[in-house]
C-alpha cells in the first residue's frame, strides 16, 4: 500500500505500530481494504448497489481488452465525481493493458475502481476462485490521479507490483488444495507453493535462514532493525515485509530497472531469479516495449521514488488485503 502524498515511495505506509504478517498481500481475514458489495436491489437502477461501498466506486467484469460495468456503488462527494468520470476508469485500464498481456488478463475476472483514502491503499489483488485461477485487481483512482495521471510513474509501478502478485500466487505457482499442515514448501496463505514456484525459490534461498528471526518482529522498531541488518537482501525496504511482498517488489524492480542483475548482493540474486525464468523475461520485454512506445512518463526510473521509513501494520501493505471470497 501507499501513503498518499506526491513525494512518497510507491508503497503506502500507515504511521502505526505493526504486526508483521507472514502471508502475501492478496488476502487477510481482517482486511481494511474496500469490501466488495454486490447486492443490487435498486429497481430503478439495477446497476447501483444500495449498501455501503466501503470505498468501492465501480466494479467491472474483464472481457479481454475491455472492461464491462457490473456495479456502480452508492457513493457521494469526491467518489461520486470519480464514478461519473468513466474516461478516467478507461485511462487506468489502458495502462493496465500496457502492463498485463492479453493472455494474462484471462486470469483477471474483475477490475475495481475505488477510493484509496478510506483504506489508505494504492492497489490490491485478491483471488476470486478457490483454485486461484481468477483474480480481482483494484486500483485507487484518487491516488492514480494525484499530481496528474501516473505522476512519476507511480501508478504504473503499482500495477506492475500487483501483476507480480498474480504471477507468483496463481494456480500455476500454488496448490490451494494443500493445507499449511501438509505443505512441505513455503505457504504464503493462499496455498502451498509448488516445488518450482518462484516464491518457494525465493524463500528457500533468501528467507529460510532468517525466518525464525523474522517471526520475532513485532513492532515497527523491530521491523526497522530487521531491515537494516539484512538490507543487502532486499530490493526495497517494503520488500522486507514478507516473502509475498518481496517477490512482488523483486518483479517490479526487475521490470522497471534498466540493465541486468550483477549478483553482488542478495537483492541482485533475487532479481537474477527473474532473469533465469523465460516467462518473466518475456513479460519484462512486453512491458518495457510498451514503455518505449509511450510518450507519457510511463514508469519511474528505479531509485527515484522515495522510500518510507516505516512499515504498515497487518492490514496495511502496498496491495491491500481482502477477505477471501
pLDDT at position 261: 86
In a domain, 9, yes or no: no
Is 1 a domain residue?
no
Question: CATH no. for residue 219?
Answer: 3.40.390
202 within some domain: yes
In a domain, 137, yes or no: yes
Asked, for residue 325, whether it belongs to a domain, the answer is no
Q: What share of the chain is helix, strand, coil (3-state, %, to 5)?
A: 40, 15, 45
- Using the 8-state DSSP alphabet, how is residue 301 labeled? P
| Residue 219 covered by a domain | yes
Q: Given the C-alpha cell 481494504, which residue does it identify?
A: 33
| Rg of the chain in Å (alpha carbons) | 19
Domain that holds residue 121: 48-320
The set of cell numbers assigned to 324 is: 477471501
pTM: 0.81
What contacts 173, CB < 8 A, 6 or more positions away? 167, 193, 194, 197, 198, 199
In a domain, 17, yes or no: no
Give domain status of residue 28, yes or no.
no
Identify the segments of the chain with pLDDT beneath 50: 1-33, 35-47, 50-51, 295, 302-318, 320-325
Tens digits of residue pLDDT in 148-204: 999 888 899 999 999 999 999 999 999 999 999 999 999 999 999 999 999 999 999
Question: From CA 19, how far away is CA 223, in angstroms rounded?
Answer: 9
CB-CB contact of 10 with 153 (8 Å): no
The total number of structural domains that make up the chain: 1
Span between the terminal Cα atoms of the chain, in Å: 21
Amino acid at each position: 500500500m501507499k501513503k498518499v502524498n506526491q513525494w512518497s515511495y510507491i508503497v503506502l505506509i500507515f504511521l502505526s505500530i505493526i504486526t508483521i504478517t507472514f502471508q502475501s498481500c492478496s488476502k487477510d481475514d481482517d482486511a481494511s481494504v474496500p469490501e466488495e458489495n454486490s447486492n443490487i436491489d435498486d429497481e430503478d437502477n439495477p446497476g447501483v448497489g444500495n449498501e455501503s461501498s466501503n470505498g468501492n466506486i465501480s466494479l467491472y467484469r474483464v472481457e479481454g481488452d475491455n472492461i464491462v460495468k457490473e456495479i456502480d456503488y452508492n457513493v457521494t462527494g469526491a467518489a461520486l465525481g470519480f464514478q461519473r468520470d468513466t474516461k478516467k476508469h478507461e485511462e487506468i485500464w489502458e495502462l493496465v493493458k500496457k502492463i498485463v498481456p492479453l493472455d494474462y488478463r484471462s486470469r483477471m475476472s474483475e477490475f475495481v475502481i475505488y477510493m484509496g483514502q478510506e483504506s489508505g491503499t494504492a492497489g490490491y489483488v485478491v483471488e476470486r476462485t478457490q483454485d486461484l485461477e481468477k483474480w480481482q485487481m483494484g486500483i485507487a483512482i484518487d491516488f492514480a490521479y494525484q499530481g496528474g495521471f501516473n505522476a512519476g510513474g507511480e501508478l504504473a509501478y503499482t500495477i506492475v507490483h500487483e501483476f507480480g502478485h498474480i504471477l507468483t500466487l496463481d494456480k500455476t505457482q500454488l496448490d490451494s488444495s494443500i493445507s499449511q499442515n501438509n505443505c512441505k514448501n513455503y505457504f504464503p496463505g493462499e496455498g502451498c507453493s509448488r516445488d518450482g514456484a518462484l516464491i518457494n525459490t525465493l524463500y528457500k534461498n533468501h528467507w529460510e535462514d532468517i525466518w525464525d528471526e523474522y517471526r520475532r518482529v513485532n513492532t515497527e522498531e523491530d521491523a526497522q532493525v530487521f531491515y537494516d541488518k539484512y538490507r543487502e537482501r532486499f530490493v526495497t525496504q517494503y520488500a522486507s515485509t514478507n516473502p509475498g511482498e518481496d517477490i512482488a517488489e523483486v518483479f517490479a524492480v526487475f521490470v522497471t530497472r534498466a540493465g541486468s542483475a550483477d549478483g553482488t548482493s542478495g537483492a541482485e540474486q533475487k532479481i537474477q531469479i527473474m532473469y533465469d525464468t523465460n516467462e518473466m523475461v518475456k513479460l519484462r520485454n512486453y512491458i518495457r516495449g510498451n514503455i518505449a512506445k509511450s510518450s507519457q512518463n510511463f514508469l519511474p526510473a528505479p531509485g527515484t521514488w522515495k522510500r518510507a521509513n516505516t512499515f504498515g501494520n497487518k492490514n496495511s501493505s502496498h496491495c491491500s488485503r481482502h477477505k477471501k471470497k
